[in-house]
Amino acid sequence: MATFLGLDYPTLWFLVVGGVFSGYAILDGFDLGAGAWHLFLKKEKSRRIALNAVGPVWDGNEVWLVIGGGALFAGFPVVYATLFSSMYIPFMLFLAFIIFRATAIEFRSKEEMAWWRKTWDITYSLSSIMLSILLGIILGNVLQGFEIGADYEFAGNWLNFFNPYAIILGVTTLSLFMMHGAIYLTMKTEGRLFTKLKLLLRRAIIFFILMFVITTAYTLIYFPHLSDRFKEVPILFIFPLLTFLTIANIPRLVNKSKYRSAFLFSALTVSFSLAIVAIELYPVLIPSTLDAANSITIYNAASSEKSLSILLTIAAIGAPLVLSYTAFVFWTFRGKVKLDETSY
């Protein structure tokens, strides 16, 4: 099997997919988090500023989801097919909320009527909350595994996707995004709105730390096998350790009013958490609870070596491009939000 830097192609593509989803979670994470806080902001102008803080970037952020979906389809078609057809209802709800959120952002400020804006404010906030929770629910089910038959088709009941562990992960994801989003909004605002957001940010940090502790404890108690990898290769303990340190650093930086650094650390929290998930699973992508032999791994799910080599080439050319426009856009809209005639 061909390798590059000592890693085989499926592993490399696993890293690419992981990187893309981590990028998505960091970027859309703050949009979704900001959306989740939307109804906590009471004044019309505060809501507009919060909306316009994500205004120029949310669409570009969502592209990472599109790239991630494409990357799964291309490199691990079996995962793409099985995951999406098994979790049909959660994904359909996810798509519905994606549309509702986009519509709400687009149309909210286009009319002056109070009922119009209120309806879209509620739609925007509720969709952001539901999207965050659904992402966590999907992740929770991937971690636990579900009933996959020998033909890679789902052989269970979809209602079980809404199990307690998945819901806890859903709420944890929401809390992480709300902390991440609150830091972002704090960075982008000034005046009384800024003061209010500082208060909300404190609550967000407490909410997240609480959920993080619950999830960790639940995982260790009910799914002890998920920590096997760390016991086998103790050096990997560095990841949970880094995660704890990163999380602990956030309140410290917030207290010092270093919001930009705090944002960096909440972004790191997102990617370290996903790294832990990746380490727990690798090389399995979706464990089958019926028979371990039916589990979908990066090897039985992968495209051909030829196809993966093309994909890796596309990624190597594309990644610097995507990163450079992303950086350029964020740089253009740096600093505090200013509303003008083109704003939402």
Partner 1 sequence: MDVEILARIQFAFTIAFHYIYPPLSIGLGLVMVFFEGAYLRTGNKQYEQLARFWTRIFAVTFGIGVATGIVMEFEFGTNWATYSRYVGDIFGSALAAEGIFAFALESGFLGILLFGWNRVSPRVHFIATVGVWLGSMFSAVWIVVANSWQQTPAGYHVVGEGIHARAEITDFWAMVFNPSSVDRLLHVWIGAFLAGTFLVLSVHAYYLLKNRHVELSKRAFKIALSIAMVSSLLQLFIGHRSADGVAHNQPAKLAAMEGHFDTLAPAHMYALGWVDKESQTVTGIGLPGGLSFLIHGDFKEPVKGLNAFPEDERPGAVNAIFQFYHIMIAIGMFLIALSLYAGWQWWRGKLFEKRWLMWVFVWAVILPQIANQTGWFAAEMGRQPWVVYGLLRTSDALSKAVTANQVLFSLILFSFIYSLLLALFLYMMNKKIKHGPVEGTLQEHRPKQEGMVEGMEG
Q: What are 84's two structure tokens?
A: 């999406």
Stretch that binds partner 1, among 50-58, 176-184, 208-216, 244-252 (CB under 8 A): 50-58
CB atoms within 10 A of CB 115: 8
Among 33, 75, 140, 181, binds partner 1 (CB under 8 A): 75
Among 25, 51, 83, 135, binds partner 1 (CB under 8 A): 83
Among 2, 99, 122, 217, binds partner 1 (CB under 8 A): 99
154 lines the binding site for partner 1 (CB under 8 A): yes
Extended strands (E) in the chain: 3-4, 7-8, 284-286, 296-297
Stretch that binds partner 1, among 64-72, 195-203, 220-228, 267-275 (CB under 8 A): 64-72
84 versus 218: smaller Cβ distance to partner 1: 84
2 lines the binding site for partner 1 (CB under 8 A): no
178 versus 286: smaller Cβ distance to partner 1: 286
Residues 18-47, one symbol each (x = binds partner 1 by CB under 8 A, - = not), give --------------------------xx--
Q: Is 288 helix (H, G, I), strand (E, B) or coil?
A: strand
Q: How far apart, in whole angstroms, are the C-alpha atoms of residue 259 and residue 187?
A: 6
Query: Is residue 283 reached through a cis peptide bond, with omega within 30 degrees of 0 on the bond before it?
Result: yes
190 lines the binding site for partner 1 (CB under 8 A): no
Among 110, 192, 231, 252, binds partner 1 (CB under 8 A): 110
53 lines the binding site for partner 1 (CB under 8 A): no
**Cβ atoms of 153 and 82 closer than 8 Å:** yes
Nearest-approach distance from CB 324 to partner 1, in angstroms:
9
Among 62, 165, 214, 229, binds partner 1 (CB under 8 A): 62
Entry field: residues in the chain: 344
82 lines the binding site for partner 1 (CB under 8 A): yes
Nearest-approach distance from CB 106 to partner 1, in angstroms:
4
Nearest-approach distance from CB 27 to partner 1, in angstroms:
11
Q: How far apart, in whole angstroms, are the C-alpha atoms of residue 20 and residue 62?
A: 11
Looking at residue 286, the DSSP 8-state letter turns out to be: E
**Cβ atoms of 80 and 73 closer than 8 Å:** yes
Q: How far apart, in whole angstroms, are the C-alpha atoms of residue 141 and residue 162?
A: 9
Of the candidates 55, 66, 56, 83, the one whose C-alpha atom is nearest the C-alpha of residue 23 is: 66
Among 15, 40, 107, 282, binds partner 1 (CB under 8 A): 107
Q: How far apart, in whole angstroms, are the C-alpha atoms of residue 146 and residue 84?
A: 13
